[in-house]
Chain A
Amino acid sequence: MPFRRFHPFHVGTFRFARALLRTNLRSALALRGSFWLQATFMILNNVTFFVFWWILFARVPTLRGVRLPDMEVLFGVTAASIGLVHTLAGGVRHLSRFIDEGELDTLLAQPQPVLLYALGMRSQPSGLGDLASGIGFLALSGQVTLSNLPLAALAVLTAALVFLGCGVAFFSLAFWLPRTEMLSRQLWELTVTFSLYPEPLFGGVLKLLLFTLLPAGFMGFLPLRVIRAATLGDVVLLALGAASYLAFGAWFFGRGLKRYASGSRFGVFG
Chain B
Amino acid sequence: MSGYQAIVAARFRALLQYRAAALGGLFTQVFFGLVRIMILVAFYAASSRSTPMSLPEVIGYIWLGQATLLLIPWRNDGDIAEQIRTGNVVYELTRPLDLYGTWLARAIAWRTAPVLLRMLPMFVVAMLIIPPLLPGWGLARPPSAAAFAMWVACFAGAVLLSAALTTLMNVTLMWTIAGDGASMLIGSLASMFGGLVIPLPLFPQWAKPFLYALPFAGLLDLPSRVFTGNIPAQQALWVVAHQLVWTAALIALGRWLLSRGLRRLAVQGG
Contact = CB atoms under 8 A, between A and B. Distances in A.
A140 interface: no
A55 B178 contact: no
Given A59-B49, A63-B46, A190-B31, A48 B197 contact: yes
B192 A51 contact: yes
A254 B42 CA distance: 43
Contact of A189 (B20, B28, B191): B28
B21 A186 contact: yes
B47 A59 contact: yes
A51 B198 contact: yes
B28 A190 contact: yes
Contacts of A44: 185, 188-189
Contacts of A37: 178, 180-182
Interface residues of B, number: 35
Given A183-B20, A186-B25, A193-B32, A48 B198 contact: no
Nearest to B177: A33
Contacts, number: 97
Most buried by B among A48, A49, A62, A189: A48
Interface residues of A, number: 36
B190 to A, nearest CB: 10
B180 A183 contact: no
A34 B177 contact: yes
Most buried by A among B17, B18, B20, B49: B20
Closest 5 CB pairs of A and B: A37-B181, A34-B178, A182-B21, A183-B24, A45-B188
Nearest to B203: A55
A52 B24 contact: no
A10 interface: no
A134 B228 CA distance: 36
A197 B181 contact: no
A146 B178 CA distance: 40
A34 B197 contact: no
Interface in B1-57: 17-18, 20-21, 24-25, 28, 31-32, 35, 38-40, 42-43, 46-47, 49, 51
Given A179-B20, A182-B24, A197-B39, A48 B191 contact: yes
Interface in B194-247: 197-198, 202-204
Contacts of A201: 38-39, 42
B211 to A, nearest CB: 11
A59 B192 CA distance: 18
A182 B18 contact: yes
Contact of B198 (A56, A181, A190, A194): A56
Given A37-B182, A189-B28, A59 B188 contact: no
Interface in A179-199: 179-183, 186-187, 189-190, 193-194, 197
A64 interface: yes
Contacts of A45: 184-185, 188
A179 B21 contact: yes
Given A34-B177, A44-B185, A186 B49 contact: no
B180 A49 contact: no
28 contacts: A33-B177, A34-B178, A34-B181, A37-B178, A37-B180, A37-B181, A38-B178, A38-B180, A41-B181, A41-B185, A48-B191, A51-B192, A52-B198, A55-B203, A56-B40, A56-B198, A56-B202, A58-B204, A59-B51, A63-B43, A180-B20, A182-B20, A182-B25, A183-B21, A186-B21, A190-B28, A190-B32, A194-B35
A38 B188 contact: no
Interface string A165-188: 000000000000101111100110
Contacts of B32: 190, 193
